[in-house]
Amino acid sequence: MRLISHPILCNYYLTYRCNAKCGFCDIWERPSPYVTLENYEQNLTALKKLGVKVLDLTGGEPLLHRDIDKLLALAKKIGFITTVTTNGLLYPKWAEKIKGLVDMLHFSLDAPTKEAHDQSRGVACFDHVMESIQIAKKIGERPDIIFTVFESNVAQIEEVYTQICVPNNLVLILNPVFNYNEVKTGAQFSEATLDKISAWGKKKNVYLNDAFIQLRKDGGNHVDNPVCLAASSTIVISPENKLVLPCYHLGVKDFTIDNNLYDLYQSDEVQKLVALEGRLPECEGCTINCYMQPSFAIEMNKYFWKALPSTLKYNRIKGTWKALF
């Protein structure tokens, strides 16, 4: 049963540029402009009209945008719940200017040691994450640690949790890695590893959408009976000011927005593609968390019930649940 018939999330790519070189991501390899304030303001007005609640300012590295403070301030003024995920390299520079403007601030950290994390990210950023945690705490912010889980690093969750998250009273978000296009991320999760990750999600101040685990056990999205509702639950906007469908990672078509996002999204051409969400050949076996999470929130099925406890838990901790309604 469909609960919500309009998009609830916008993944707004401010730029594809990044100051890290993560091996499990190819976004940083793409040439990219930065979004303009003019286009951004026009699109936010349309997004609000379309019913979007959550604005994820993403990249690349979103803090590379020289007007990130203005972008966030405008989003909050219009009434969006805002999210930003950063590798921490530039957070010390921006901390004071974006204070109070990010509802869900995530620092990426995939290992408890400098050597392992920096190797994963392709640049030396571990020390910057540690610095960012202390700066954020000092100015009254409540960041989370987002830990990208691989088959190879699941044993390191405990150290990150006990040595970094617990002492600093931070929420640990477990983000199971996913493959897409030509990007490969190593060994597939074993059943035992999936069970270990699921068990971690039950601990205090740990967030794991357990539907992610169930989906992987089920072999991902299946085109003959799709669970993915990416195109109808999420709007993706590129740095070139284009609407990307059905999602960024498996995008098969883009449409120039040209100051007309509201009408464009509702056009016959776009809606015909929206109707194919989860059914395209590229969608078979997909487990991309970015688009499955909102999909699980808008249709009542077994994944909805798997996702609900963790969703309520996280939004209660962050105090954002009221703004979702």
Q: Is the pLDDT of residue 267 over 80?
A: yes
Is the bond leading into 246 cis (omega within 30 degrees of zero)?
A: yes
Each domain of the chain, given as residue ranges in start order, spans 9-324
| Candidate ranges 175-189, 254-268, 305-319; pick with highest mean pLDDT | 254-268
Q: Could you tell me the pLDDT band of residue 184, with boundaries at 50, 70 and 90?
A: low
Give the per-residue pLDDT at 279.
95
Give the per-residue pLDDT at 28.
67
Going by C-beta distance under 8 Å and a sequence separation of 6 or more, which residues neighbour residue 294?
Answer: 8, 9, 229, 230, 233, 234
- What average pLDDT does range 303-318 have in this prediction? 92
Q: Is the pLDDT of residue 72 over 70?
A: yes
Give the per-residue pLDDT at 319.
80
What is the CB-side half-sphere exposure of residue 126 using CA atoms within 13 A?
A: 14
Pair 257, 195: CB distance under 8 Å: no
Name the pairing type of β-strands 206-207 and 234-237.
unpaired
Q: Is the pLDDT of residue 71 over 80?
A: yes
pLDDT in tens, 95-149: 999 999 999 999 999 999 999 999 988 899 999 999 999 999 999 999 999 999 9
Tokens standing for residue 154: 């699941």
Pick the CATH number of 9-324 from 3.40.50.300, 3.40.50.2000, 3.20.20.70, 2.40.50.100: 3.20.20.70
Pair 221, 215: CB distance under 8 Å: yes
Give the per-residue pLDDT at 217.
96
Q: Residue 62: what are its φ and ψ, rounded to 5°? A: -60, -30
Give the per-residue pLDDT at 181.
59
Give the per-residue pLDDT at 165.
98
Task: Tell me which of 18-27, 137-146, 156-165, 229-238 is least confident.
Answer: 18-27
Q: Is the pLDDT of residue 4 over 60?
A: yes
- What average pLDDT does range 16-43 have in this prediction? 86
Q: Is the pLDDT of residue 186 over 70?
A: no
Give the per-residue pLDDT at 29.
66
Q: Could you tell me the pLDDT band of residue 69, with boundaries at 50, 70 and 90?
A: very high
| Average confidence score pLDDT of the chain | 92
